[in-house]
Chain A
Amino acid sequence: MPPMLKQNAPVLEIENLVIDFQTPTGLFQAVRDISFRVDSNESVAIIGESGSGKSVTANAVLGLLDCPPGRIKSGDIRFRGKSLLSMPLRERRDLYGRGIAMVFQDPLTHLNPVYPVGWQIAEVCRIHGMPRREANEHALELMVRVGIVDPHKRFSAYPHQFSGGQRQRIMIAMAMAMQPDLLIADEPTTALDVTVQARILALLRRLQSETGMSLLMITHDLGVAADIADRVLVMQKGVLVEHGPVESVFRSPQHPYTRQLLTDRSEEYRSKKHEDGEMLLEISNLDIHYGAHHAVKDVGFTVARGEIVGIVGESGSGKSTVASTILKLREPSSGSILYRGKNIQSLSGLDLRGYKRAVQAVFQDPYSSLNPRMNVFRILSEAWTLHPDVLPREKWRARAEELMEMVGLNASDLEKFPGEFSGGQRQRIAIARALTLNPEVVVCDEAVSALDMTIQAQIITLLTRLRRELGLAYVFIAHDLTLVEKFADRVLVMKSGEIVEQGATADVFGAPKDDYTRRLIAASPVADPKLQAERRRTLQLA
């Protein structure tokens, strides 16, 4: 059991830490001379985007750097005053799991698939010397404590038999097994739905107040940081650019990067909607079954010219299924989708080709959305080979160059292959491809979810501009409520295949009528510590 610690004694101190990575292109400095400390019973959040070095720092504390090949070049990491780096390996290993424990981002891959979860929790205790029987009993207690339903039965179940949220509870139980002084949580809620995220964050907060441990949270989500942290550190490209108490950093950020992050989050993207409002898509009584599973139930809505219709919901709500049905990638079981008054199920010949031109898509994963063996010009011109009447061949290159400039890329990039672009640039190419056939509606299925905050903001700005210039309508599917609130004209809230509420964005978010909508909004953390604390209270009451 941990000895009683003096109030405000540092649990973790990081001093002038520099970490190098050996990459094929040479040495890359992932962490550049950062120093900070975590005091006892304190919650510290490291905020940053991908490549900021935040996860590398966390991994360095637990000696997990050797895959991929990283190396601590200089600096020191001290745990309760003792340097981890100059400690013998045996002594360090004894601290791991006992004094310092870690919760990882993706619990499915971080749990061993071939052992029962109870065994995996008990393993921590057994490694640190507890007899098997006692360890098993303790593991069972831990499962109760983190809120696993029916723990006796679930003790011998395997990771794949749990839901995402339950798996993360198991990871937390594992980390809490030896009552560590410091819990490091690396994006623990990133892969989870907002309502599940809220419950996991509440669990972490409860465990912290029960045990008095310190919490180091790595996150890209400002809302999560605002929710849980006492102090925040902001990292950018390996450098610690700002740190301080959560209120002061969020209220009056000093560094331009922090300011940028906060404004990106609160930016108003809504532009004026086109007023002519010609009706493009009318969806009514849509039902979709996958075998016995009723994925979409009686869904109906409309999309007018130049309108942005947001669809929000958690995983399994059926929002992406609706999108793929509009895109004719899937047949509905019943119901109709009318395009300019004609049912798209019965379109054929010229009408069908017309529809295939009018409705385009941008998908979530920037890495899989472009064929890696085709250069950008071939990617863009593929549409014109399929629809030769849109553009004569001699104008292809000029039009492709024009499109590239429209989405903010260089015309000279046309000869490059997708592998040479970053995620945000690829998503721009995907948007350019969606524009090749001069569409009226673009379906964006989680089109910015995989991107960093600043990149997200840029892509949304681009989409806003394109709507203004080209009169595009968007069906914008996202799980990020804040984004939809700032971007969409109208919003649909889906749950288990049904639309529980729809209406103008301001109405739905301002005065939600449905109980689920209210819960969803309350669970979605906002980048404002004071406001977030209030929301948390209302959520607990509800």
Chain B
Amino acid sequence: MKLTNAFALLRRDKLAFVAAIYLVVVVVLAIIGPELFGKTATAINLRARNLPSFDLNQGWEYYLGSDSLGRSVLARIMVGARNTIGIAFGSVIASLCIGGAIGIVAGLSRGALGNIIVRSVDVIMSFPSLLLALIVLYVLGTDPVNIIVVLAITRLPVYIRTARAEVLEIRERAFVSAARVMGASGFHIAIRHIVPLVLPTLLIIAALDFAYVMLAESALSFLGMGVQPPDVTWGLMVAEGRAYINVAWWLSFWPGLAIMLTAIAANLLASWFRLAADPTLAAGRKLADAAHA
């Protein structure tokens, strides 16, 4: 799929288009937010304590209100984007690469290795992931790298299973046999034939998983087992605002909404991509089937 084609396709689906724009804004904030608004977010302003939302008198940064120290909620959300998005992105990339590679190896191996991988995946799958994360972080400490690793491990099974299932199907296709007849090595087949066909599916899973991991990270932050203050994530902001729910609802509401909208956007984009990738993959087959029916 060419890039311009993809853009034109995206324009046609309004919901997905809006979701994409929102995600771009969030990602840009994650990249440059702390540099631009870092000072604003940490500035304690005692004259602007507990300002409610939608009040422009104290300047734009207080539009979403402020906390008991007079820090701007909006600025804190923009700065918190980096940790929230960064941790989710890091663990998705890690589980995508490692899980995808393990899954492809499991699919291609005809011996005991494949079986061992499948069994271990089942083992990981039958733990409740949040509990696993809680106990590991309890013992090892809530370093961001630890959080990324723990979240990545709990998501590995999804990629391994999907990649393996796809490979098992693809490797039985005749073009793989044809390549083997010509003397292609296992490595050549994996790189030329398997990876390009498995990748789109894995990317869709990754987009869905991004939402999932972000929610998990936020839950960890909320429970106090995620990123620790003075660092800030959206989940942590919700947790901190909880004590003030009677007097300052905006402290919890806005960061939570940011989490939800980002998760929705990732989900919408993933389901759009699934539809968009499908016809280019199998247009010929679908048409032929329709004609045959």
Contact = CB atoms under 8 A, between A and B. Distances in A.
Asked if the two chains touch in their complex, CB atoms less than 8 Å apart, one says yes
Interface of A: 21, 23-24, 50-51, 55-56, 59, 68, 324, 327-329, 352-353, 356-357, 359-361, 363-365, 367-374, 379, 382-383, 386-387, 418-423, 430, 433-434, 437
A333 B275 CA distance: 46
Nearest to A354: B183
Interface string B210-225: 0000000000000000
**Chain B: interface secondary structure?**
helix
B284 A361 contact: no
Interface residues on B, range: 20 to 34
Given A55-B293, A372-B281, A423 B288 contact: yes
B39 interface: no
B287 A23 contact: yes
Interface stretch (B40-48, B57-65, B190-198): B190-198
B174 A369 contact: yes
B179 interface: yes
B30 to A, nearest CB: 32
A367 B288 contact: yes
Contacts of A360: 181-182
Q: Pick the 8 closest A-B CB pairs, nearest first.
A: A356-B183, A419-B284, A363-B174, A369-B174, A368-B173, A51-B291, A50-B292, A371-B175
Most buried by A among B183, B192, B281, B282: B183
Contact of B285 (A353, A367, A371): A367
B293 A329 contact: no
26 contacts: A51-B292, A55-B292, A55-B293, A68-B290, A327-B177, A329-B177, A357-B183, A361-B178, A363-B178, A364-B174, A368-B173, A369-B178, A371-B192, A371-B196, A371-B197, A372-B281, A373-B197, A374-B192, A382-B179, A382-B192, A383-B182, A386-B179, A386-B188, A387-B183, A423-B288, A430-B174
A364 B178 CA distance: 12
B180 interface: yes
Nearest to A434: B178
B1 to A, nearest CB: 10
Interface in B65-118: none
Contact of A419 (B181, B184, B197, B285): B285
A371 B174 CA distance: 9
Nearest to A65: B293
Contacts of A51: 291-292
Nearest to B177: A329
Contacts of B285: 367, 419
Contacts of B283: 419
Interface string B268-293: 00000000000111111101101111
Contacts of B183: 352-353, 356-357, 386-387
A469 B90 CA distance: 59
